[in-house]
């Protein structure tokens, strides 16, 4: 049927001809539902109204708000947080739109195989030149609780997604089992997961490359409490490779008391390596603060015999010690460690 001028007038006014000439119940006979009924079904219409009211309020308070926002994409912070709707980055940090770049996923994870998170990290660090990366978890996280309770054989995508959190659970099984009650276990695993994901960020190629080229970049691992709205810092600032232990298990176990000095990190690593690394048992520092190994001082001069600076030699030492520690753990496992 061809629309009449009367139909056109009705549509232009926001309704239909049938809507003007019949009661709301007439749609049950096959006609077009009235606008009031469509409004009830369209849940987004309420959000559109909220948006319009928000725009008016913003313009009333600051007439140039949106004009300024168009050129304001240079945040100093990248937030890697959980998808939980109760943990909005801007609000709990007290920041305005344009002041924090946000990456959120279930369980605030930052694994190197997550292309979404790593792409966001790369864009933030290389293009936006953010100076701070914040990994934030929250107590009572559903993903963390699932890592504790959800059977491994459960066939759904979430079970695959939380595998890294479950691995964190396995590595800290003794500590978690020593806590009384599920809530205490979940909250502690939330903290351990934040430390684990912060380590992933610190060892990511993007962050490592930024530090290598001297870019200012500080990492933080924090946890948010839904009960009081407070943020607790677990670790940070980490501003370079010398600011954290390169062994993930040690990093997680130390938490906020991470070792920030290369000499102390080397000494602690050797001490934990145990008798299995007897040839590295004499590690100390010289009077000027440089690291010594078996009486040999690691020089900071560029003209060292092997051409390496002190930092490079310390990195090599750490790598050797970490390898020795892995061998020790394998030996413990073979001898019945579990």
Positions annotated as catalytic residues are 82, 84, 86, 138, 141
- 138 annotated to a ligand binding site: yes
How far is residue 175 from each of residues 29, 171, 245, 246, measured CA to CA in Å? 66, 9, 20, 22
Which of 265, 239, 269, 235 is closest to 252 using CA atoms? 235
Q: Which two tokens stand for residue 88?
A: 């909005």
Q: Which two tokens stand for residue 186?
A: 């979940």
Residue with tokens 């990195």: 315
Query: Around Cβ 307, how many Cβ atoms within 10 Å?
Result: 8
- Write the secondary structure of 187-256 as one string of H (helix), E (strand) and C (coil): HHHHHHHHHHHHHHHHCCHHHHHHHHCCCCCEEEEEEECCCCCCEEEEEEEECCHHHCCCCHHHHHHHHH
Sign of CA dihedral 283, 324, 253, 330: negative
Rounded Cα distance, 169 and 166, in Å: 5
Rounded Cα distance, 196 and 202, in Å: 10
Chain centroid offset of residue 258 CA: 19
Indicate the DSSP class of residue 26. Answer: G
- 82 annotated to a ligand binding site: yes
Q: Binding site for Zn(2+): what residues are annotated?
A: 82, 84, 138, 141
Q: Binding site: what residues are annotated?
A: 82, 84, 138, 141
């Amino acid at each position: 049927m061809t629309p009449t001028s009367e139909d056109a007038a009705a549509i232009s006014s926001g309704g239909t001809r049938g809507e003007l000439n019949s009661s709301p119940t007439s749609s049950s006979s096959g006609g077009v539902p009235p606008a009031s009924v469509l409004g009830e079904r369209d849940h987004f219409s309420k959000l559109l109204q909220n948006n319009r009211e928000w725009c008016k309020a913003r313009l009333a308070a600051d007439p140039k708000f949106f004009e300024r926002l168009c050129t304001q994409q240079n945040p100093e912070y990248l937030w890697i947080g959980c998808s939980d709707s109760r943990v909005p980055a801007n609000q709990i940090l007290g920041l305005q739109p344009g002041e924090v770049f946000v990456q959120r996923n279930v369980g605030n994870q930052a694994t190197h195989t997550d292309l979404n998170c790593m792409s966001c990290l790369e864009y933030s660090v290389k293009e936006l030149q953010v100076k701070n990366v914040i990994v934030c978890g929250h107590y009572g996280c559903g993903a963390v609780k699932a890592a504790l309770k959800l059977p491994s054989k459960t066939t759904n995508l979430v079970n695959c997604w939380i595998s890294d959190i479950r691995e964190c659970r396995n590595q800290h099984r003794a500590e978690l089992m020593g806590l009384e009650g599920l809530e205490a276990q979940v909250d502690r695993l939330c903290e351990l997961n934040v430390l684990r994901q912060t380590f992933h960020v610190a060892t990511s190629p993007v962050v490592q490359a930024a530090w290598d080229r001297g870019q200012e970049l500080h990492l933080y691992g924090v946890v948010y409490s839904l009960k009081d709205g407070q943020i607790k810092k677990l670790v940070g600032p980490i501003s370079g490779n010398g600011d954290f232990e390169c062994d993930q298990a040690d990093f997680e176990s130390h938490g906020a008391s991470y070792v920030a000095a290369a000499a102390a990190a080397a000494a602690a690593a050797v001490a934990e390596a145990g008798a299995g690394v007897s040839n590295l048992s004499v590690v100390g520092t010289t009077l000027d603060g440089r690291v010594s190994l078996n009486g040999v001082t690691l020089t900071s001069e560029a003209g060292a015999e092997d051409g390496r600076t002190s930092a490079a030699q310390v990195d090599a030492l750490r790598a050797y010690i970490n390898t020795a520690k892995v061998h020790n753990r394998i030996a413990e496992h073979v001898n019945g460690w579990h």
